[in-house]
Amino acid sequence: MKIFIFDNAHQIGNAVGKLFVDAINEKPDIVLGLATGASPVPTYKYIAKQCAGGKVSLKDVKTYNLDEYVNLPKSDKNSYYSFMHHELFDHTDIKEKNVHFLNGNARDTEKECRKYDEMLEKAGVDIQLLGVGRNGHIGFNEPSICFSKGSFKVKLTQSTINANKKYFDENPMPTEALTMGVGSIMKAKKIVLIAVGNEKADAIAALVHGDVTPVCPVSILQFHHDVEIYLDKAAASLL
């Protein structure tokens, strides 16, 4: 596990953004696993800027997002579909047919999850971008008694609801989501995790120094052979 510590989120965005731009230029049809939330926003800004400046093209890139809320219309500003278009896709030349999300409005969520897992398996993620929850969740894999394998429907914990409800000013925040499983996340060839702020310090300390346990899902990354962790000083303060 390689750990990089920066002064602020902007610097992390430039470093991780460059990592992605270089990887895309090296393999134009790369398959990316993407995250939402505050952590990757500066990275997406960097990639969008490079794309606008003609330094990289996403026209053959394929993406698979980690998670999506259940029963939230795709068009809602808080759906992860909207988030990704607003923060990244709309500012690049990526093709709509190449971006993939779990459908949180699927009538049969079991079937939807199996379909997503089959697509993921076939595509093979080259680089998976992750944030981490205060409670150590990755994707929406909340603390549990066992690690999940494939995608599934999850009931969000109070900690996750508290962290995200600020975005829901019009409608109440959904309490369920579909998420990629820990097993699928671990299949990515490379994993890049970003954590910013004091409230992530416990999860990062558990990731680096703790036991591997589903009670802190991010700890599983200790078993991956190619993980890079990008932290600001606050998130790294307990290391």
Interface with ligand F6R by CB under 6 A: which residues? 35-39, 66-67, 131-133, 137-140
Q: Which CB sits closer to ligand F6R, 57 or 103?
A: 103
**Taking a C-beta distance cutoff of 8 angstroms, is the pair 45, 80 a contact?**
no
Q: Which of 195, 92, 125 is nearest to 116 (CA)?
A: 125
Q: Which CB sits closer to ligand F6R, 44 or 59?
A: 44
Catalytic residue (choose from 87, 142, 164, 232): 142
- The SS3 assignment for 92 reads coil
d(CA 87, CA 238): 31
**Taking a C-beta distance cutoff of 8 angstroms, is the pair 51, 58 a contact?**
yes
The residue to which tokens 């790369």 are assigned: 30
Question: At its nearest, how many Å lie between ligand F6R and the CB of residue 31?
Answer: 17
Catalytic residue (choose from 65, 78, 135, 164): 135
d(CA 129, CA 84): 13
Q: Which CB sits closer to ligand F6R, 52 or 67?
A: 67
In the residue annotation, 96 being an active-site residue is answered as no
Q: Which CB sits closer to ligand F6R, 62 or 137?
A: 137
Catalytic residue (choose from 67, 87, 112, 232): 67
Q: Which of 84, 96, 77, 100 is nearest to 31 (CA)?
A: 100
Question: At its nearest, how many Å lie between ligand F6R and the CB of residue 179?
Answer: 7
In the residue annotation, 209 being an active-site residue is answered as no
**Taking a C-beta distance cutoff of 8 angstroms, is the pair 196, 231 a contact?**
yes
Tokens read off for 28: 């134009």
Catalytic residue (choose from 68, 137, 141, 164): 137
Q: Which CB sits closer to ligand F6R, 25 or 162?
A: 162
Question: At its nearest, how many Å lie between ligand F6R and the CB of residue 38?
Answer: 4
Neighbours of 115 (CB within 10 A): 15
Q: Which residue's CB comes closest to ligand F6R?
A: 131
- The SS3 assignment for 64 reads strand
Question: At its nearest, how many Å lie between ligand F6R and the CB of residue 172?
Answer: 18
Neighbours of 16 (CB within 10 A): 25
Question: At its nearest, how many Å lie between ligand F6R and the CB of residue 135?
Answer: 9
Residue positions annotated with a catalytic role: 67, 135, 137, 142
